[in-house]
Every structure is written in C-alpha cells, then in structure tokens.
Amino acid sequence: ADAVRWFGQWSDPVEQEGWLVVADPPYLHDTARDILEIVVDRAAEAGFRGAVVEHDPKQTLIPPRDAGPRIESRVYGNCGLTIVRPD
C-alpha cells in the first residue's frame, strides 16, 4: 500500500518534537501488520510517542514482546486496536 511505502521511507526530522501514528487500513489485509512492523522497528527513535492501528478483531498482528516498545491489543465489538507505546 502507498501508506506503507511512504512510512517506510519517512525520516524523523531532528527538530520535530514528536510523532504519532494513527492508521485505519482495510480489514483482513496485510497493511495493518506492515504498518505495525515499521512502527515497532522505529519505536526507539526519539520522536516516537505512540501508535494506534485499527484492524479486524480476529487478527493478532504483533504479539507482546519482552523488550522494546509496549504492545497491547484490544477488542471493541467489531473493531480491533493495537496500541504501541515507547518503552
């Protein structure tokens, strides 16, 4: 998807105070997983403040990890949200 390509090439400007990702890609598509993988890889950057990615509630896109950013998945009815916070 275009969003995944753009985000994968984007660089965190030094002068920027912080950035946040909010994404609502199509359900049952790889886009949500791809965005989350980029977020987790970039979560150590100084400007990262968090991410919320909506997805199908039946999907587990990225399991919680022992190290790195905090990852939490929640389900609200027909909506799944994965939240990534800095460590």
Residue 54 confidence (pLDDT): 92
Local confidence band at 9 (pLDDT 50, 70, 90 cut-offs):
confident
Q: How confident is the model at residue 55 (pLDDT cuts 50, 70, 90)?
A: very high
How much of the chain, in percent, has pLDDT values that exceed 90?
Answer: 29
Confidence of residue 16 (pLDDT cuts 50, 70, 90): low
User: What does the DSSP 8-state code read for residue 42?
Assistant: H
80 sits in which H/E element:
strand 79-85
What's the pLDDT band for 52 if we cut at 50, 70, 90? very high
Alpha helices in 1-87 (DSSP H): 2-9, 30-42
Q: State how far the alpha carbon of 19 is from the alpha carbons of 6, 16, 22, 26, 80, in Å.
A: 15, 8, 10, 23, 22
Question: What is the predicted pLDDT for the residue at 14?
Answer: 60
